[in-house]
Amino acid sequence: MHSQKTYLAILIPLALVIGVGVFFYVQKNPLGGSTASPALVTTPETASDTLPTNTEPSQIQKNTVANNATGTQEHPLAVLDKQRLEDIYNIQTALEHFWDIHGEYPYIDMYLNKLGRDGTACLNADGFQPAGCADPYMAVVPFDPGLGAYLYMSDGEDYFLRFTQDGKSETFPEGEGIYDLTIDGIVPLSYVQYVGEAGDSDGDQLGDAEETAVGWDPNNADTDGDGFSDFVEVMNGLNPNGDGELPNGEMIRQMFLMMATSQ
């Protein structure tokens, strides 16, 4: 019993010291300079908070390396958005080829199937199949390179492909949101406007006190004005107040996720 009390007497002060140290480190190391910009448009649906579980470099990291190698300054999330659009059009081409031959689109008796995974890794005359299907119309069905998913639904006569965009562009002036590609073209499904509320003045789902502590603008949903909201950048491990990846990104990301869960 005496040794247990001694252990607790050491452990509790140590935990307090570590916690205070982390807090003051974040306070004394604000993440870059601040630039004002208008609040962005966001969707009412929440972004996925699932991180990749493999040890391979993330798509964000690969994009950053590629950009550095070519000397370009394109935002990593802009690269992901372009990849999503290219993937969606490639899937559309395969679906139209399927229609030309069979007079219908691949039917799936489930709602909003995630494409490019498990049973939808390739497409042939029998529809979407696991990887390695024979005589494929599309040998490798792509999956979302970020934190989201491409979703597909069809009754055989019509279909929609659902995908996300992380920021604004010439093609998607509505900005961050969820879009459907249908036989009639691309239509915005939903995009939300950031609306401030108590404790979150810019409505970006990141609390004012926490944003201030790490040097971000609590009154601006896009602190660095790069076209991608602070929330989206944090969730993807990027710095909302400058270029590059977010220092201590996973720790800060988890802090905001825990705060959102508690609310």
Q: pLDDT (tens digit, 9 = 90+) per residue, 155-196?
A: 999 999 999 999 988 889 888 999 999 999 999 998 867 888
Residue 93: pLDDT above 90?
Answer: yes
Residue 77: pLDDT above 60?
Answer: yes
* 63 pLDDT tier (thresholds 50, 70, 90): low
Burial group, residue 126, by CB count within 10 angstroms (0-12, 13-18, 19+): exposed
Stretch 210-228: mean pLDDT: 89
- Identity of the amino acid at 21: G
Considering 26-35, 51-60, 76-85, the range whose residues carry the highest mean pLDDT is: 76-85
Which residues, other chains included, contact 16 with Cβ-Cβ below 8 Å and sequence gap of 6+?
A: none
Determine the pLDDT at residue 71.
55
Q: Average pLDDT, whole number, for the chain?
A: 76
Which residue, among 143, 106, 144, 138, has the nearest Cα to 122 in the 3D structure?
138
**Helix (DSSP H) and strand (DSSP E) numbers for the chain:** 6, 9
pLDDT > 70: percent of the chain? 70
Predicted TM-score of the model (pTM): 0.69
* 243 pLDDT tier (thresholds 50, 70, 90): confident
Greater confidence, 208 or 249?
208
CA distance 103 to 200: 51
- Identity of the amino acid at 107: Y
> Residue 182 is encoded by which pair of tokens?
């249908």
* 61 pLDDT tier (thresholds 50, 70, 90): low
